[in-house]
Amino acid sequence: MKPKRPYVVTLDQVTIHRSGESAEITYADKAVGPIDLKIGPQIEGMTIGEILEAWNDCVRAMQKSADEYVHVAVEIPRGRPQIEYQERANQWTPRGSVLRCAISDENFQPIIYIDDRELSWTEFGRLITTYAGWGMRIIFVPDDRLEESPRIEIREPEGK
């Protein structure tokens, strides 16, 4: 199950436990992971309701920031490397947020080519985990048209 983002809640939808200068907020909805809300020394004088309101204020601020965010997908120009190897992480990582790839297979296992570099399915999987928590749209195009953004139609495929 895909984890849910935290959302504004009431006291009957969460449990709150104090831990030092933090509060652990656990949603009854198991699709939302536990939250460690760092408050500081003022937590001593706060009621559970005030802690909850502080958390809900954080959620509202995160949602406002998300609503105002304008995403610009950066595509690396042709001839420049789209991916780079990170020694410390021992994996390839994207340099931008658009990847032009070609797909092949060997013994029914996908092989992904980026910048004429062959990546196994595992290597490609590790590369895209750089964007864990994001979404992804995959648009299949002929391998000689990787530079083009095709027209997209939202409809059911014909004949299926």
**Each residue's pLDDT expressed in tens, for the chain with a length of 160 residues:** 778 999 999 999 999 999 999 999 999 999 999 999 999 999 999 999 999 999 999 999 999 999 999 999 999 999 999 999 999 999 999 999 999 999 999 999 999 999 989 999 999 999 999 999 899 999 999 988 988 889 999 899 887 6
C-beta pairs of 34-37 under 8 Å, 24+ apart in sequence: 35/6
- pTM for this prediction: 0.69
Q: Which structure tokens are listed for 85?
A: 């190897």
- Reduce the DSSP state of residue 13 to 3 states and report it: helix
pLDDT of residue 159: 77
Cβ proximity of 27 and 14 under 8 Å = yes
- Cβ atoms 65, 47 nearer than 8 A: no
Rounded Cα distance between 24 and 61, Å, is: 19
